[in-house]
Amino acid sequence: MARFLRNCWYMAAWSHEVGEASLRRRLLGDPIALYRRSDGTVAALVDRCPHRFAPLSMGTRDGDNLVCPYHGLTFDPQGACVHNPYSDQLPKGASIRSFPTVERDSIVWFWAGDEAKADTALIPDFSMLMISGHGAPLSGYMAMAAPYEMGIDNLLDLSHIEFVHKGSFAGMGVIFAGEHSLRQEGNRLHSNWWMTDVAAPPHTFGIYNPQMRCDHWLDMRWDAPAAMYLQVGACPHGESRDGGPLAHQAHILTPESENSTHYFWATTRGFPPTEESDAMLNGLFSQAFDDEDKPIIEATFRNMDGQDFWDLKPAYLGIDAGGTTARRILEKLIASETAG
């Protein structure tokens, strides 16, 4: 069975990563060149010249077109060959695939499937990243040598905080004091943790007295294939949640290949940023993702020795219902897309 859903929006990059020069990024197995046209919109083309397969991202720009660095064929942002330096004739079949893109909430999305089906209403909403009132969100990127489904397992089952993130998000038993719930709305999942009367979690430092008892929530929304939006909330124990979450986060995964993943993350801040507080948050997130999640996920993948996830008959703990359900939804969507 195909491993990737094609008719959906995937994150290609953070907006700030894409400029006039081409950014080469492997997405769903294909090398893609991303660059900004003169009107500010983003072009996405397969980064492989149809002549001798040179990376166009190594070439130069001619207006909005890309000039191949090897023998100079020129391609427009739709991938059509528009100039042949050796003849007035354009070579037959010398076009490359391009992808529709949309930029929203500081995210560059691209549509990987049938262009006629590229409906922008299907783009998951991450507008909460932009309206926190404390500046642009803090964002980052991590490369992960494991399939994207393993990243979904990790993010839809935050019980791992207690074991994996002892050094950063430090569960301190809050997960064991909490309740997990899973709700499905069509192809969307809500995998939520609710923890009452717990010590103030690290996200509240600087807002609440660290001695205070809190009610704490971690509400994760998942949209196929792998766009996750997390609300991190805490309020004084017994009080209302109406003040809203302390932080809105994006955890968005895009397959680089079948066995490697781009992990894009972002978080709003619960307080006006200073250089010091941003350095602290960056340090916390890089520790959590690079030093804690990445090693365990990659080691887990290596430990599967290339065997199929279901063939290995994974034990079921209940807390992992989110990841399991997401896998089933994805399999169903990919099967129906393949059949269609």
How far is Cα 337 from Cα 328, in angstroms, rounded to an integer? 14
Closest approach, Cβ 164 to Fe ion, in A, equals 6
Cβ contacts of 75 within 8 Å, gap of 6 or more? 45, 49, 56, 65, 66, 68, 81, 82, 95, 96
> What's the 3-state SS for 42-97?
EEEEECCCCCCCCCHHHCEEECCEEECCCCCCEECCCCCEEECCCCCCCCCCCCCC
Nearer to Fe ion, 36 or 262 (CB): 262
Nearer to ligand FES, 58 or 304 (CB): 58
Size of the site for Fe ion (CB under 5 A): 1
183 binds, among Fe ion, ligand FES, none (CB under 5 to 8 A by kind): none
SS3 37: coil
> What is the DSSP code (8-state) at residue 318?
S
Identify which range of 108-116, 128-136, 194-202, 286-294 contacts Fe ion by CB under 5 A: 286-294
Nearer to ligand FES, 52 or 166 (CB): 52
State whether the Cα torsion 39-44-48-50 is positive or negative.
negative
Which residues in this chain contact ligand FES in the complex, by CB under 6 A? 49, 51-52, 54, 68, 70-73
Nearer to ligand FES, 76 or 153 (CB): 76
Instruction: Measure CA of the first residue to CA of the last residue in the chain; give whole Å.
Output: 13
By CB under 5 A, residue 293 contacts Fe ion: yes
293 binds, among Fe ion, ligand FES, none (CB under 5 to 8 A by kind): Fe ion
How far is Cα 332 from Cα 321, in angstroms, rounded to an integer? 16
What distance lies between CA 269 and its chain's CA centroid?
19
Interface mask (CB under 5 A) for Fe ion, residues 235-274, using x and -?
----------------------------------------
Q: Report whether 204 contacts 246 (CB < 8 A).
A: yes
By CB under 5 A, residue 320 contacts Fe ion: no
Identify which range of 45-53, 80-88, 210-218, 289-297 contacts Fe ion by CB under 5 A: 289-297
Nearer to Fe ion, 73 or 220 (CB): 220
Q: 55-114: which residues touch Fe ion (CB under 5 A)?
A: none
